[in-house]
């Protein structure tokens, strides 16, 4: 395919938009320019392909398609059926899953669908059984009361937030923490690794309905075979949220015990992180949960987004190609090169390294909070995000960590040599930044000083590093 086609497509689209609201066209153009210039190390972000992006901007956006393929509550869904079935088929083939539900609008939505499916499947309630067989009108007030009480008193065991778990795994600021009685498992304070014996102990004591595996900020592989054995030993449903590392599963970097799909009853994911698809979510599950999962819309979700499902089908087709496995391996090679580069220069890393796409720097070693480090790096053209470290003394707002990830830069084509240079830039910024003080002389967790000239110099070096690896080389908007 000619690169010219990509330029023509995006240029024409902007021309059409510009005729209605030029400021939107300008903002879209500016976003591309900004992304091209920034050293994006946000572990949850990536760059979707032009084909994936273009599949979202069309008439599918106009369709209502509640229901599932072939069983819609709206007429005229034959073409939506085509793309939804394709996306599901690609997902099943790619991940070796028995069932795929591709409607969730995001990772959080996918988790809500999964929670509902497990509750509906597992909670022994005569009232729920009635509701499930669509005798909703027969439910008495007492049934409803019993149902709410039973559904709201279930237990969930997930990874603690400061060890790298996600808010949606039963934590208070999220609805999951209000729906479930939650307990969490952490990591070994000495090694930073998951201590499976402690997880088993917590499961035995707590007897969760759902054991959740998966993370947003844990830099290591997780043994899903062991977690499944723990779930089985207490009769829990084993759910894995692979939102962050789905690309590494798709690219067969995580196989055997480290591939969640053969071990979990239900797997949720985003499609836009390491998987490099459109912004969205997905649920994969064993056959016995499929009916409940398919009730996601309208039980939990608003109407499906057929244009995004079309883009999911495109991105999943891309992920089935052999070069995606190569991409996934390069993500991890880059992450390890970045970790080694940082360690060699004296940085302190949670767990001492990485075997996935992300690295967690404990910036207390530089005398900084995560917030100070994040801002100083941003001033220097390096985009990261602050993150808690295990047992973080600075809490979830200021934090003591910086999370960096390689999926986006790997998509651009940067390799291990550039990762070492990136480590040098990060280390230089963090060693040259000093923590500030409050007006009363106490140490500030937010204020810092960094020489503006140095920040500019680093930002120029970051841009130079990117110059050889243009983002969307086929797209010229000028």
Ligand X SMILES: *Cc1c(COP(=O)(O)O)cnc(C)c1O
Residue 279 annotated in active site: yes
- Give φ, ψ of 301 to 5 degrees: -100, 155
Shortest distance in whole angstroms from residue 222 CB to ligand X = 12
From 37, 64, 345, 434, the catalytic residue: 64
> Tokens in use for 213?
């595996």
Give the active site residue among 279, 345, 447, 457: 279
Q: How large is the angle between the packed helices 3-18 and 22-37, nearest 10 degrees?
A: 140
Which segments of 339-379 are extended strands (E)? 358-362
Per-residue tokens: 208: 């969760």
Q: Which residue, 68 or 269, has its beta carbon nearer to ligand X?
A: 269
- Which structure tokens are listed for 280? 């969205």
The residue (of 216 and 292) whose beta carbon lies closer to ligand X is 216
The residue from 72, 122, 228, 273 that is catalytic is: 273
Helix 306-319 and helix 78-95: axis angle, to 10°? 30
Contacts of 225 by beta carbon, 8 Å cutoff, 6+ apart: 256, 257, 263
Phi, psi (deg, nearest 5) at residue 404:
-130, 145
Instruction: Please give the residue whose beta carbon sits closest to ligand X in the complex.
Output: 107
Catalytic option among 187, 270, 351, 369: 270
Provide, rounded to whole angstroms, the least separation between the CB of residue 350 and ligand X.
16
Q: Which is nearer to ligand X, 104 or 341 (CB)?
A: 104
Q: Which is nearer to ligand X, 108 or 275 (CB)?
A: 108
Catalytic residue from among 6, 109, 121, 241: 241
Nearest distance in Å: CB 272, ligand X: 7
Q: How far is the CB of 439 from ligand X (least distance, A)?
A: 37
User: 48 vs 119, 232, 255, 279, CA distance in Å?
Assistant: 34, 38, 24, 9
Reply yes or no on whether 150 is catalytic: no
Give the nearest distance from C-beta 42 to ligand X in angstroms. Answer: 11
Report residue 346: phi and psi, to 5°.
105, 5
Instruction: Provide the 8-state DSSP code for 197.
Output: H
Minimum CB–partner distance for residue 257 and ligand X (Å): 19
Q: Which is nearer to ligand X, 244 or 312 (CB)?
A: 244
Q: Contact 436/445 with Cβ under 8 angstroms? A: no
Question: In this complex, which beta carbon is closest to ligand X, that of residue 299 or of residue 343?
Answer: 299
CB-wise, 45 or 420, nearer to ligand X?
Answer: 45
How far is it, in rounded angstroms, from Cα 267 to Cα 290? 12
- Separation between Cα atoms, residue 21 and residue 100, nearest integer Å: 38
Contacts with ligand X, residue ranges (CB under 6 A): 44, 106-108, 166, 168, 214, 216, 241, 243-244, 270, 281
| Distances, alpha carbon 265 to alpha carbons 134, 232, 296, 410, in Å | 25, 11, 17, 31
CB of 245 to ligand X, least distance (A): 9
113 vs 382: CA distance, rounded Å: 36
Radius of gyration of the chain (CA): 23
Smallest gap from residue 111 Cβ to ligand X (A): 6
The H or E element containing residue 268 is strand 266-270
Q: Which is nearer to ligand X, 108 or 450 (CB)?
A: 108
Distance CA 340, CA 289 (A): 42
Backbone dihedral angles phi then psi of residue 383, each to the nearest 5 degrees: -95, 115
| 366 labelled catalytic | no
Residues marked active site are found at 64, 66, 241, 270, 273, 279
């Amino acid at each position: 395919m000619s690169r010219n086609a990509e330029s023509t497509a995006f240029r024409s689209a902007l021309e059409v938009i510009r005729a209605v609201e030029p400021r939107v066209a300008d903002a879209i153009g500016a976003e591309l320019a900004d992304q091209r210039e920034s050293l994006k190390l946000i572990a949850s972000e990536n760059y979707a392909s032009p084909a994936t992006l273009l599949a979202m901007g069309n008439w599918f956006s106009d369709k209502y398609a509640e229901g599932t393929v072939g069983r819609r509550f709206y007429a005229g869904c034959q073409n939506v059926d085509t793309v939804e079935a394709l996306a599901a088929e690609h997902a099943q083939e790619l991940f070796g899953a028995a069932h795929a539900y591709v409607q969730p609008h995001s990772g959080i939505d996918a988790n809500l669908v999964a929670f509902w499916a497990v509750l509906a499947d597992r909670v022994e309630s005569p009232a729920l059984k009635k509701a499930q067989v669509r005798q909703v009108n027969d439910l008495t007030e007492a049934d409803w009361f019993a149902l709410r009480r039973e559904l709201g008193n279930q237990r969930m065991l997930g990874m603690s937030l400061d060890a790298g778990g996600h808010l949606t795994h039963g934590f208070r600021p999220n609805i999951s923490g209000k729906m479930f009685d939650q307990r969490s498992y952490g990591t070994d304070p000495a090694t930073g690794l998951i201590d499976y014996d402690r997880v088993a102990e917590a499961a035995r004591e707590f007897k969760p309905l759902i054991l959740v595996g998966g993370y947003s900020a844990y830099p290591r592989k997780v043994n899903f075979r062991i977690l499944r054995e723990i779930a089985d030993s207490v009769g829990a449903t084993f759910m894995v949220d692979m939102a962050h590392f789905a690309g590494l599963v798709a690219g067969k970097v995580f196989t055997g015990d480290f591939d969640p799909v053969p071990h979990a009853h239900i797997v949720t994911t985003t499609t836009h992180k390491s998987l490099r698809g459109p912004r969205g979510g997905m649920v994969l599950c064993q056959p016995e949960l499929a009916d409940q999962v398919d009730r996601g819309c309208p039980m939990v979700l608003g109407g499906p987004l057929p244009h995004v499902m079309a883009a999911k089908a495109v991105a999943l087709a891309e992920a089935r190609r052999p070069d995606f496995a190569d991409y996934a391996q390069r993500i991890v090679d880059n992450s390890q090169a970045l970790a080694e580069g940082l360690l060699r220069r004296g940085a302190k890393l949670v767990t001492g390294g990485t075997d996935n796409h992300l690295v967690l720097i404990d910036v207390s070693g530089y005398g900084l909070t995560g917030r100070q480090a994040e801002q100083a790096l941003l001033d220097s053209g390096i985009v990261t995000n602050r993150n808690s470290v295990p047992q973080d003394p600075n809490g979830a707002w200021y934090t003591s960590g910086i999370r960096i990830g390689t999926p986006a830069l790997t998509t651009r084509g940067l390799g291990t040599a550039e990762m070492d240079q990136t480590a040098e830039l990060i280390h230089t910024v963090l060693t040259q930044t000093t923590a500030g003080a409050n007006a009363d002389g106490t140490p500030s967790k937010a204020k810092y000083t960094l020489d503006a000239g140095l920040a500019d110099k680093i930002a120029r070096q970051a841009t130079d590093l990117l110059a050889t690896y243009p983002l969307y080389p086929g797209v010229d908007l000028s």
